[in-house]
């Protein structure tokens, strides 16, 4: 692993480059996708503005914070920062909020995945991503007008505390590889990924990484 690949962004960039060189011909998606997504969760990362301000070219933001008491206001603040930095900004689980703020697209929880067709007909140029947690959901997403899926949890994560005790299994490298082989959809790894373990995913066929707490470490810029 090179020094450049010792950061979250460096690892994601390596995955992204490998994907476009070795995998995209086999997939339906020909649109270039970010290498790295910051997924917001203000309880886990209290100052998302700081993380976004440090993101470089090739990164994107998925605004989650479903239960935030001032969700619309916070979303508007972060969307403005992303527009200034020319960073793709996706709103999770709320098509109307994405429309209101002129977002780059939407991220769909697994239970909303079947809405992708209606969304695509209305917003042909939006980036649409979805959350997937098993092979069946990834296969389903691949049949829909979805640009990419975030598969989780890859490693034990505080977002799913049961994975820390082993009560719930994680995907691990083998699970990630199985999902990549099972789907013609670009996939991002999410869940417990940091600069300390992300390099284990190099060569897996992922198009990139997504993280929440992983940005607590210095992630560097993607160039």
Judged against a pLDDT cut of 80, whether residue 88 lies above it is answered with yes
Confidence grade of residue 162 (pLDDT, cut at 50, 70, 90)? low
Q: What residues have CB less than 8 Å from 11, skipping those under 6 apart?
A: 5, 195, 198, 199, 201, 202, 209
Query: According to the model, what pLDDT value does residue 218 have?
Result: 45
Map out the domains of the chain as residue ranges: 4-213
| Percent of the chain whose predicted confidence (pLDDT) is above 70 | 86
Judged against a pLDDT cut of 80, whether residue 168 lies above it is answered with no
Query: According to the model, what pLDDT value does residue 222 have?
Result: 35
Judged against a pLDDT cut of 70, whether residue 167 lies above it is answered with no
| 149, 133 Cβ separation under 8 angstroms | no
CATH code for residues 4-213: 3.20.20.70
pLDDT tens for 95-119 read 999 999 999 999 999 999 999 999 9
pLDDT tens for 26-49 read 555 556 799 999 999 998 999 999
- Summarize the confidence of residues 117-133 as an average pLDDT: 97
Strands (DSSP E) contained in 40-111 are 59-63, 89-92, 105-108
- Summarize the confidence of residues 163-182 as an average pLDDT: 83
- The least confident of 2-11, 56-65, 85-94, 195-204 is 2-11
Report the distance separating Cα 138 and Cα 4, nearest Å. Answer: 31
- Summarize the confidence of residues 193-208 as an average pLDDT: 94
How high is the mean pLDDT of the chain? Answer: 89
Which two three-digit tokens encode residue 29?
């998606």
């Amino acid at each position: 692993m090179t020094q450049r690949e010792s950061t979250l962004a460096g690892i994601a960039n390596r995955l992204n480059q490998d994907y476009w060189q070795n995998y995209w011909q086999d997939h339906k998606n020909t649109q270039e996708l970010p290498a790295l997504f910051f997924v917001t969760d203000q309880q886990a990362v209290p100052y998302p503005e700081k993380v976004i301000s440090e993101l470089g070219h090739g990164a994107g933001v998925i605004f989650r914070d479903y239960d935030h008491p001032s969700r619309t206001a916070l979303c508007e603040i972060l969307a403005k920062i992303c527009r200034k930095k020319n960073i793709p900004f996706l709103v999770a689980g709320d098509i109307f909020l994405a429309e209101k703020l002129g977002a780059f697209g939407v991220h769909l929880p697994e239970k909303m995945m079947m809405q992708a067709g209606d969304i695509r007909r209305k917003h042909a140029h939006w980036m649409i991503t979805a959350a997937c947690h098993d092979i069946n959901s990834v296969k389903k997403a691949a049949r829909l007008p979805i640009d990419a899926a975030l598969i989780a949890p890859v490693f034990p994560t505080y977002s799913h505390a049961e994975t820390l005790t082993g009560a719930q299994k994680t995907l691990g490298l083998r699970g990630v590889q199985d999902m990549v082989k099972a789907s013609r959809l670009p996939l991002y790894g999410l869940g417990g990924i940091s600069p300390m373990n992300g390099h284990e995913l190099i060569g897996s066929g992922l198009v990139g990484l997504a993280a929440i707490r992983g940005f607590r470490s210095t992630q560097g810029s993607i160039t």
